[in-house]
C-alpha cells in the first residue's frame, strides 16, 4: 500500500496514546510556528468549553495533532493548532487531516467558514494553508496574520 493510500484518521487522545502524541515534534526550524503538543493539550484542558482536539493517525501510526476552537455560542470556528511530526511531513497527511477537520467543522452550528492564523515568516505554514483554500483576511492578531476558508458553496447567493 502506498503512503497516499494510507487511511488518515482523527482520534481522541486517551490514557493509552497521549505519550505517543507528546513525542511528536516539528523540525527545530518550525518550532516558532506551533506550540508543543503538551502545551496544546494543556490549553485544551483549561478551555474545555471551546477546545476540540485530536491526534492525527496514518493507519495505526500517530503522525500529528490538531485542535479546533469550537465556539458554538458565537458560531465561530478557528483552527487553533495543526502539526505534523517532522518525519511524516510531505506525505499528504496534513492535507487529509484538514479535509477531515473541515468535514467536522461543517457539522457545527452555523459553520460557514473556519479561520486560522500564522506567523508571517519564511518557512511558515501560510502557503500550505493557501493551498488548502484559506485566504488572508487582512487582519492581524497577536502578530499573526488571520486567514479564512469558506466551508459552504456560495452558489445561488444573490439570485
Report the CATH number at residue 43. 3.40.630.30
Structure pTM?
0.91
Give the number of domains in the chain. Answer: 1
What residues make up the domain containing 98?
Answer: 3-150
Predicted pLDDT of residue 153: 65
Assess if residue 73 is contained within a domain: yes
Predicted pLDDT of residue 105: 97
Contacts of 110 by beta carbon, 8 Å cutoff, 6+ apart: 72, 75
As averages over each run of 10 residues, the pLDDT of the chain (159 residues) reads 77 97 95 94 94 97 97 96 97 97 97 95 92 97 95 58
Assess if residue 114 is contained within a domain: yes
Assess if residue 158 is contained within a domain: no
Mind listing the pLDDT tens digit for each residue in 6-39?
999 999 999 999 999 999 999 999 999 999 999 9
Q: What is the DSSP string of 63-77?
A: EEEEEEEEETTTTEE
Amino acid at each position: 500500500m502506498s503512503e497516499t493510500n494510507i487511511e488518515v484518521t482523527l482520534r481522541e487522545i486517551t490514557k493509552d496514546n497521549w505519550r505517543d502524541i507528546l513525542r511528536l515534534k516539528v523540525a527545530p526550524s518550525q518550532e516558532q510556528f506551533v506550540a508543543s503538543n503538551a502545551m496544546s493539550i494543556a490549553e485544551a484542558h483549561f478551555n474545555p468549553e471551546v477546545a476540540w482536539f485530536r491526534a492525527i493517525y496514518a493507519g495505526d501510526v500517530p503522525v500529528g495533532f490538531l485542535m479546533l476552537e469550537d465556539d458554538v455560542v458565537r458560531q465561530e470556528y478557528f483552527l487553533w493548532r495543526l502539526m505534523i511530526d517532522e518525519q511524516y511531513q510531505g506525505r499528504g497527511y496534513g492535507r487529509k487531516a484538514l479535509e477531515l477537520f473541515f468535514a467536522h467543522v461543517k457539522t457545527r452550528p452555523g459553520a460557514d467558514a473556519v479561520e486560522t492564523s500564522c506567523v508571517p515568516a519564511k518557512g511558515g505554514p501560510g502557503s500550505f494553508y493557501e493551498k488548502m483554500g484559506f485566504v488572508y483576511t487582512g487582519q492581524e492578531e497577536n502578530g499573526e496574520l488571520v486567514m479564512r476558508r469558506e466551508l459552504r458553496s456560495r452558489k445561488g447567493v444573490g439570485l
